[in-house]
Amino acid sequence: MSLSRFLIKRSLQGLFVIWGVITVVFGLRFISPGDPANVLLPPDVDPEVRAQVIAELGLNEPLYVQYWQFVSGIPFGDLGLSLVTRTPVAARVVAKLPATLELAIAATVVAVVIAIPLGVLSATRRHQPADYGATVFSLVGISTPNFWLGVMLILVLAVQLNLFPTSQRPIGLDGIAMLLVGGEAGAAIRGFVTWLWHITLPAITLGTYFTALITRLTRSGMLDQLGQTYVRASRAKGLPETLVRYKHALRNTLIPVITVIGLQLGTLIGGAVITEAVFAWPGLGTLIINSINARDWPVLQGSLIVVAVGFVLVNILVDALYAYVNPQVAYD
């Protein structure tokens, strides 16, 4: 199979999964107890008004019509209307997206910048204090619930030492970009400092599990690679040890590590939801939790679709990158 055929096949599979995701999310409404009209109306409302609202929401249409109405709008970015605010769901989700993406990216940066050097250090200094330190760190890191870590960081660094704010996101990267476009460089720099100051604790909270996980993966991958014959051959050939380690072994270690980072993106978004709850970070997670508490099903459904479709797309991208770096997979 050629690379392009592999990518086409992978994209078609992705499309099928996206369709499945949308259908599952549509089905959520039918396992929820109670009528969506109850969200909008007091229980003792006039039956006539009630019927009118149900008709307006399209809830008296046959199932296949409702399904079609739900599905057909999605490719055009129509995710329906919020039951509570009566505004388009898509706009609300899009408004919350930057905050969550910023958090996820900041956490990934924290994780990659710390974990890969740490994993390499651990593998090349096996059975030395640095290795034990890194191993203990990664064990504790993957075993710590991130919301508790967030609470602890707030407790120590924000409440006791007053180094960081406890919550909120006064400005986002989108706002900073707007300032830059408007030519207000000074305000943009101040905005960036504020942003950095506010995102530090949430990024550590969300990033620690991944740091620990990637440290583990890098360490075991690196140990595995350093035992391979090509490494011995390069050493025998007289290549400097730094070149053998950091060019050849590390590069081969990173390929599976990148795949895992892609696969773990779902966990990252799941982690972002709870991190947002800890830090009152106004992103998708907060939107999801608020929509459940308000029983605003269309907002919940829309957010779930955006999250799941994003996950599928990123995974196709990771697979494509993987196939590009390592064409062998396309031939399996």
Partner 1 sequence: MISERTRRNLRRELRRSLLAKLGIVVVILMVAMAVFAPFISPYSPSQQSLDNSRQPPLGFSTKETKEVTKMEDGSVVIEDGQVVTETQTVYTNATAAHPLGTDGNGRDILSRIIYGARTSILVGLFGTSLAALIGVLVGLSAGFYRGRVDDLLMRSADIMLAFPSLVLAIALVGVWGQAQAPIPDPFVATGLAPAFRSAVGLPTGMPETVVLPGTVIVVVALVNWVWFARVARGEALSIREEEYVKAAKALGASDGRTMLRHVLPNAITPILVLATIQVAAIILLESALSFLGFSGADVSWGFDIALGRQYQSTAWWISTMPGLAIVVTVIGLNLVGDWLRDALDPGIEGEGGV
The contact set with partner 1 (CB under 8 A) reads: 13, 16-18, 20-21, 24, 28, 31-33, 139-140, 142-148, 151-152, 154-155, 159-160, 209, 213, 266-271, 273-274, 277, 285, 288-289, 292-293, 297, 300, 304, 307-309, 311-312
Smallest separation, CB 303 to partner 1 (Å): 8
At 109, list the tokens: 């940066």
Whose Cβ is closer to partner 1: residue 3's or residue 18's?
A: 18
At 128, list the tokens: 């030395």
Question: In terms of C-beta density within 10 A (0-12 exposed, 13-18 middle, 19 or more buried), how is residue 31 classed?
Answer: exposed
Smallest separation, CB 314 to partner 1 (Å): 10
Whose Cβ is closer to partner 1: residue 20's or residue 240's?
A: 20
Whose Cβ is closer to partner 1: residue 17's or residue 173's?
A: 17
Whose Cβ is closer to partner 1: residue 84's or residue 309's?
A: 309
Smallest separation, CB 240 to partner 1 (Å): 33
- Give the burial string for 139-176 (b: 16+ CB within 10 Å, else e): eebeeeebbebbeebbeebbeeeeebbbbebebbbebb
Whose Cβ is closer to partner 1: residue 222's or residue 304's?
A: 304
At 98, list the tokens: 């930057």
Smallest separation, CB 129 to partner 1 (Å): 16
CA-to-CA distance for 226 and 36, rounded, in angstroms?
A: 59
- Distances in Å between the Cα of 245 and the Cα atoms of 135, 158, 257, 258 are 20, 40, 16, 18
Contact by Cβ (8 Å): 101, 176: no
Give DSSP secondary structure letters for 105-122.
Answer: HHHHHHHHHHHHHHHHHH
CA-to-CA distance for 70 and 23, rounded, in angstroms?
A: 9
Smallest separation, CB 88 to partner 1 (Å): 20
Please report where in the chains the tokens 């459904």 appear, as a residue. Answer: 301
Smallest separation, CB 47 to partner 1 (Å): 26
Whose Cβ is closer to partner 1: residue 254's or residue 287's?
A: 287
